[in-house]
Chains A and B, each alone.
Chain A
Amino acid sequence: MAPPHGGPSRARWEHFSHAADVGIRGIGASPEEAFAQIAVALTAVITDPKLVEPREPVPLSCAAPSMELLLFDWLNALVFAMDTRRMLFSRFLVRLRNDRLEGEAWGEPLDPERHQPAVEVKGATYTELHLFLRPPGEWVAQCVVDV
């Protein structure tokens, strides 16, 4: 398991091992924070998130019948936005209300020279897809993404 990253708060992200692909995990004090942190973990599959300037916001929204499906849709919405806008993101704002997610992904246009992107993410999978609360009151969002 990769060492945890992130600021001094409890909110953080990490990667976990999967044979061919990559497991991503976001941890925070609320489901919103966990969703925002797993998005940073997603960027970290591609490049070092510290290299990505949060210069402009892209609004994203999704709706799904369960929180886990919403997590799957959120990650795929980010994959789609990165691919079609040719951008990378490093800061995320997430609001969850009932079965809807309203979010913003802040980032900048992809610069191959500066970002040195290692690999593109093809999509989120259902493997290890979970959202759960664990002691001492941490929310964990996780998923294996196909690269």
Chain B
Amino acid sequence: MDLSRLRKFSENSWELRPQGTMRVPAVFYGSQSLLEQMDEKVAEEAANVASLPGIVRAAYALPDAHWGYGFPIGGVAAFDPEQGGVVSAGGVGFDISCGVRTLLTDLPKAAVAGREEELAEALSREIPAGVGAHGKIHLDESGMDAMLRGGARWAVESGYGEAEDLERIEERGCMSGADPSAVSRDAKSRQKDEMGTLGSGNHYAEVQEVAQIYQPEIAQAYGLEPGALVISLHCGSRGLGHQIGTDYLREMVAAAETFGLRLPERELASAPLSSELGRRYLGAMRAGINCALANRQILTHLIRKVFERFFPERRLTLLYDVSHNTCKEELHQVEGNSVWLFVHRKGATRALGPGHPDLPPCFTPWGQPVLIGGSMGTCSYILAGKPESEERAFSSAVHGAGRQMSRNQAARTWEGGELTRELGRRGILIRARSRRGVAEEAPGAYKDVSAVVEAAEAAGLARRVARLDPRICVKG
């Protein structure tokens, strides 16, 4: 990205002033080197988002931003319904409510010493993963609608997990305002056999070791002990979310003209929040969020069953569950006033600061846990929302490293079997269905997640609490 057009506020904060059709500035968070590595398309896309009706304050690109479709991935944009604001299917993304959940084991690494292979095998056997994998749950029409309304709460009521899990999931495990009737038959039919499946690509279930603590007090409050094992899941709303994205992207593109939207790119397609289409998409997208929350809850149940066999006395508890592809109606401070805004986070994690009323009481003094997934073979991070997070980017932080190399190039650069052996020599066990899939997800195909997280901290988006190193990775 050419930085000469940007005004530098600080080492990690840059601005593109409104020009042309832009209604607000585009703000870029990240170090000079991260921004220089970004594709020029990120600036173009952020400027396009800044030109949409009803956008408030700025279009934000975070340190992990990369070229998406319409909206950049790693971006935040908030819209005011009272100012003609819009909602965009492309601004949420195809994998609605894709996110990360971290479970605490309260076990030291030594507890699995000598049994790592056995545990990896058991997790790989019990977690349906990869292309075409089906779960053990098959939903009929009324079961599907109940799941889409209830999310993780539906899953707990169906026997997958415990009521106290819900306290540690965004929206207490159930997104209100979901409308199953706004979800197409095609979307539901893609989902009926996919509950409790991990998916493919960069999705995973990983056993990780707490390798470094940056904020001892917050880490302790989060239940993170140095050297302890945790388990993190990265997955989303599966076929249902993908189909909702496809259906509404098509409909919004076709309707753009009727709303008088002049779009520089079709994928910016949006609908006014006040329109029937806008409201219908919100109902469907919220159902997609519930699907992802239910999916991660079922996967949690499968993981607990595996751990029970190894450690019958040990109960896995949730640290937290975050979603990073959403649009949520939230109360924010704009020029001294409290305003309800629709905040799109596409490849961005909500990061509520200490004292925020939406936090579970256990996190009130510390801020929300922000769970950042690395890629297979690299580390992951736990961050915490800060008081400044709100004014930086509507209480949002990064979501992961972001790719720096295409899948084709990665598949030509690495060989899956050799990569698995190499990671094994470093003490990281990989279980995957596809050798090519492993090569495409090689750690070297991603940006340096540590640099991204350091930039997020330096920009004031969130603060680092702990670093997690991978030990066992079940690849999607």
Whether A18 pairs with B94 at a CB distance below 8 angstroms is no
Q: Output the nearest chain B residue to A23 by Cβ-Cβ distance.
A: B406
Set of chain B residues within 8 Å of A20, measured between Cβ atoms: 66-68, 73, 402-403
CA distance A42 to B81 in the complex (A): 39
The reply to whether the CB of A30 lies closer than 8 angstroms to some CB of chain B is no
The reply to whether the CB of B243 lies closer than 8 angstroms to some CB of chain A is yes
**Which stretch, A31-39, A92-100, A121-129, touches the partner chain B?**
A121-129
The reply to whether the CB of A117 lies closer than 8 angstroms to some CB of chain B is yes
Set of chain B residues within 8 Å of A19, measured between Cβ atoms: 39, 41, 66-67, 403-404, 406
Write out, one digit per residue, whether chain B residues 214-239 have a CB within 8 A of any chain A CB (1) or not (0). 00000000000000000000000001
Set of chain B residues within 8 Å of A21, measured between Cβ atoms: 69
Whether A112 pairs with B201 at a CB distance below 8 angstroms is no
Whether B94 pairs with A22 at a CB distance below 8 angstroms is no
A79 CB → nearest B CB, Å: 8
In-complex Cβ contact of B437 among A73, A86, A117 (8 A):
A117
**Which stretch, B147-155, B372-380, B407-415, B422-430, touches the partner chain A?**
B407-415
The reply to whether the CB of A25 lies closer than 8 angstroms to some CB of chain B is no
The reply to whether the CB of A110 lies closer than 8 angstroms to some CB of chain B is yes
Q: Which of A131-147 contact B (CB under 8 A)?
A: 144, 146-147
In-complex Cβ contact of A2 among B68, B95, B186, B408 (8 A):
B408
**Which stretch, B117-125, B162-170, B245-253, B453-461, touches the partner chain A?**
B245-253
Whether A125 pairs with B267 at a CB distance below 8 angstroms is yes
Whether A80 pairs with B245 at a CB distance below 8 angstroms is no
Best-buried of A19, A45, A46, A84 by chain B (most CB within 10 Å): A19
Whether B407 pairs with A22 at a CB distance below 8 angstroms is yes
The reply to whether the CB of B364 lies closer than 8 angstroms to some CB of chain A is no
The reply to whether the CB of B266 lies closer than 8 angstroms to some CB of chain A is yes
Set of chain B residues within 8 Å of A12, measured between Cβ atoms: none
Q: Output the nearest chain A residue to B130 by Cβ-Cβ distance.
A: A112
Whether B407 pairs with A127 at a CB distance below 8 angstroms is no
Write out, one digit per residue, whether chain A residues 47-80 have a CB within 8 A of any chain B CB (1) or not (0). 1000000000000000001000100110010011
In-complex Cβ contact of B200 among A72, A84, A117, A124 (8 A):
A117
CA distance A2 to B186 in the complex (A): 33
Whether A80 pairs with B66 at a CB distance below 8 angstroms is no
Whether B39 pairs with A120 at a CB distance below 8 angstroms is no
A80 CB → nearest B CB, Å: 6
Write out, one digit per residue, whether chain B residues 390-424 have a CB within 8 A of any chain A CB (1) or not (0). 00000000000011101111010000000000000
CB within 8 Å for A122 and B94 given contacts A46-B131, A147-B407: yes
A7 CB → nearest B CB, Å: 21
User: Contact residue range for chain B?
Assistant: 35 or more
Whether B201 pairs with A119 at a CB distance below 8 angstroms is yes
CA distance A17 to B95 in the complex (A): 21
Whether A123 pairs with B246 at a CB distance below 8 angstroms is yes
CA distance A76 to B248 in the complex (A): 13
In-complex Cβ contact of A117 among B39, B131, B190, B409 (8 A):
B131
Whether A126 pairs with B190 at a CB distance below 8 angstroms is no
CA distance A65 to B253 in the complex (A): 12
Q: Output the nearest chain A residue to B187 by Cβ-Cβ distance.
A: A80
In-complex Cβ contact of B411 among A65, A118, A126 (8 A):
A118
CB within 8 Å for A126 and B243 given contacts A86-B132, A119-B437: no
Q: Output the nearest chain A residue to B132 by Cβ-Cβ distance.
A: A110
The reply to whether the CB of B434 lies closer than 8 angstroms to some CB of chain A is yes
Set of chain B residues within 8 Å of A47, measured between Cβ atoms: 436
CA distance A102 to B54 in the complex (A): 42
B442 CB → nearest A CB, Å: 12
A24 CB → nearest B CB, Å: 11
The reply to whether the CB of A91 lies closer than 8 angstroms to some CB of chain B is no
CA distance A110 to B190 in the complex (A): 16
In-complex Cβ contact of A118 among B253, B266, B437 (8 A):
B437
CB within 8 Å for A116 and B436 given contacts A83-B190, A123-B246, A126-B249: yes
Q: Which of B105-157 contact A (CB under 8 A)?
A: 130-134
The reply to whether the CB of B283 lies closer than 8 angstroms to some CB of chain A is no
The reply to whether the CB of B433 lies closer than 8 angstroms to some CB of chain A is yes
In-complex Cβ contact of B186 among A18, A80, A86 (8 A):
A80
Set of chain A residues within 8 Å of B440, measured between Cβ atoms: 118-119
Whether B189 pairs with A84 at a CB distance below 8 angstroms is yes
Whether B434 pairs with A125 at a CB distance below 8 angstroms is no
What are 25 A-B contacts with C-beta separation under 8 Å?
A19-B67, A20-B67, A46-B131, A72-B250, A80-B243, A83-B190, A112-B130, A112-B434, A116-B433, A117-B132, A118-B200, A118-B411, A118-B434, A118-B437, A119-B200, A120-B200, A120-B201, A123-B243, A123-B246, A126-B249, A126-B253, A126-B266, A127-B70, A146-B93, A147-B407
New A-B pairs, 4, CB < 8 Å, besides A17-B406, A116-B434, A126-B70:
A20-B66, A47-B436, A118-B436, A120-B201
